[in-house]
Amino acid sequence: MARDWTLEADEIVALPLDELALLVLRDAHANGEWNWGNWLISAQRSYAQRTDAMQALGEAWGWLQNHGLIAWNPTQSSDKAFVISRKGHQLLSDGLPWLRAVERLDVELVPVLERTARPQFLRGDFETAAFAAMKEVEVQVRTRAGLGSGPDEVGVKLMVRAFKQGGPLFRAELEGGESQAQMNLFAGAIGLFKNPSSHRRVDFKDPTEAAEIVLLADLLLRLLDKIEDPQPSTPEADGQGK
């Protein structure tokens, strides 16, 4: 622990665990600490009369380990020796909002988003990750619906043509309001989030919002997978009926 560590015992106990852990990690990094046991021994000198503060600091080290922010140091024999992981260094650089968003996205995505959106997100390119996820929804809808790439087969127009009554992805077995809601869900998501250069309803610098967009795209693709046999478009759906 550094000599300039200024937290009082009451502050340590009151801090959320993730915030306290980040402060501990920053202190260890700034002072070249390599042994978390030594760090706690140093802290004991300041908080010897406050077992609650020492427990909180111990929990902070446990939190860092459990979240993969520190790792065992294979060059040292002590079981308390550690190194800051690559993820830990990124936390030091990008802060807790980045980590919280990464953990929000710590679920199994559909395979195509695992290959496209997740790598971009983990690199911190949130705009590309969100755009790639929604673009994949558009591509998959077009493919499943058997539609082309004309002016009516992009964006919101594509969603409406694919899901409206008589369209290839319309499901007659659904209750009418549910069919309409499904079309609106896909059209609204694409309209808001697929084209960030035209729609600035989201701050793509915010990793949490970007994570939610990726998760929304994942949900849409899962819903699309449930439509097993797309139906051919009817003349009415193509605007050719009477």
Q: Are 126 and 105 in contact (CB under 8 A)?
A: no
What does the pLDDT read at residue 239?
52
What does the pLDDT read at residue 197?
47
What does the pLDDT read at residue 29?
95
Query: Which of the four CATH numbers 3.30.390, 1.20.58, 1.10.10, 1.10.1740 does domain 9-94 have?
Result: 1.10.10
What does the pLDDT read at residue 232?
55
DSSP string, 156-200: HHHHHHHHSTTSTT--TTS-HHHHHHHHHHHHHHHHHHS-TTT--
Q: Over the stretch 111-165, which tens digit does the pLDDT of each residue have?
A: 999 999 999 888 888 888 998 999 999 999 999 888 877 666 788 889 998 888 8
What does the pLDDT read at residue 231?
57
Q: What are the structure tokens assigned to 144, written together?
A: 């499943």
Q: What are the structure tokens assigned to 108, written together?
A: 């199994």
Closest alpha carbon to 49 in 13, 6, 2: 13
What does the pLDDT read at residue 2?
60
Mark the ranges of the chain whose per-residue pLDDT is less than 70: 1-4, 150-152, 174, 176, 195-204, 228-242
Q: What are the structure tokens assigned to 24, written together?
A: 């501990």
The dihedral built from the CA positions of residue 174, 176, 180 and 185, taken in this order, carries a sign that is negative
CB atoms inside a 10 Å sphere around CB 36: 22
What does the pLDDT read at residue 4?
64
- Domain residue extents for the chain: 9-94, 102-225
Q: What are the structure tokens assigned to 207, written together?
A: 């990793």
